[in-house]
Copies of this chain bind each other. A is one copy, B any other.
């Protein structure tokens, strides 16, 4: 498998395990595609599914998943904490290896067209695939949720990209699009003063003039194991090639000095692409002319 694209769709079912298993089986049974994980959330009544493969395998699995979910999940009876608008609510595609965001945009358009055609579910293209600026943001597309969507799509600016000005009666609509891999990265400080974490977060995040592709907030964390409190800079990195892990880390360390505090530890939540870590090893070890594709042994096996 040379090219790798990852998809992390959310289906609107987090309680009935037979339905969840039937959906996940569509991924398992598709050649060129590998299921990595699925995580049902009962209170959200929603399951995150993660799979990878080449464009062809991911396309096939994704279309099959939506067909199965549209068959088994009825939004008219769905209740849960998380806002939702479809049986499969959102389906992002991420470029992991030997491909880029443009390949994922192309994939999202092929998958979107097929979902409308084969599952009868209208499709909004979002994030990098969006055809209008207001559709880049999933939250704006989903506003009004399943219950308000039939009316919303009558508005000219909210006509779906595929499938016409309507919703599927039980499966609603879906957002499909390309987005960059995201790393959830926390830095824990040697203080419990959350104001310091908030000030550092404000300095490093893009929104307030900091590093590109960095979202950050300050939190106070209660460590139940140790009984200690500490301040945390909680970061979402939406493009680790644009802004690498080491740069964020060094900027937080540098800003922390202003307050006489240090970074005690960091955490990576969930999955992290190998290249994001290798980039930081390259930086700190000062490796000259390192050729990631050729010199990392595993790149010849994947």
Contacts and interface: CB of A to CB of B under 8 A. Distances in A.
* Among A266, A270, A301, residue most surrounded by chain B Cβ atoms (within 10 Å): A301
A153 to B, nearest CB: 36
Given A52-B301, A266-B288, A300-B52, A278 B271 contact: no
A274 B270 contact: no
A145 interface: no
A230 to B, nearest CB: 12
Contacts of A285: 245-246, 249, 266, 280
A271 B267 CA distance: 28
A139 interface: no
Given A52-B300, A298-B274, A280 B286 contact: no
A17 interface: no
A97 B280 CA distance: 22
B295 A37 contact: yes
Per DSSP, chain A at the interface is mixed
A263 interface: yes
A157 interface: no
A34 B287 contact: no
Contacts of A281: 245, 277-278, 280-281, 284
Interface string A241-272: 00001100100000000000001111110111
A284 B246 contact: yes
Contacts of A290: 268
Contacts of A302: 298, 301-302
Contacts of A286: 263-266
A119 to B, nearest CB: 27
Contacts of A245: 281, 285
B294 A267 contact: no
A282 B291 CA distance: 20
Contacts of A221: none
A245 B214 CA distance: 29
A245 B288 CA distance: 15
A52 B287 CA distance: 24
B34 A301 contact: yes
A235 to B, nearest CB: 12
A65 to B, nearest CB: 18
A22 interface: no
A208 interface: no
13 contacts: A36-B294, A52-B301, A96-B297, A245-B281, A249-B285, A266-B287, A267-B289, A268-B295, A271-B297, A271-B300, A277-B278, A278-B281, A280-B281
Given A37-B294, A271-B297, A271-B300, 8 more contacts: A6-B297, A52-B301, A97-B298, A264-B286, A266-B287, A268-B287, A270-B295, A278-B278
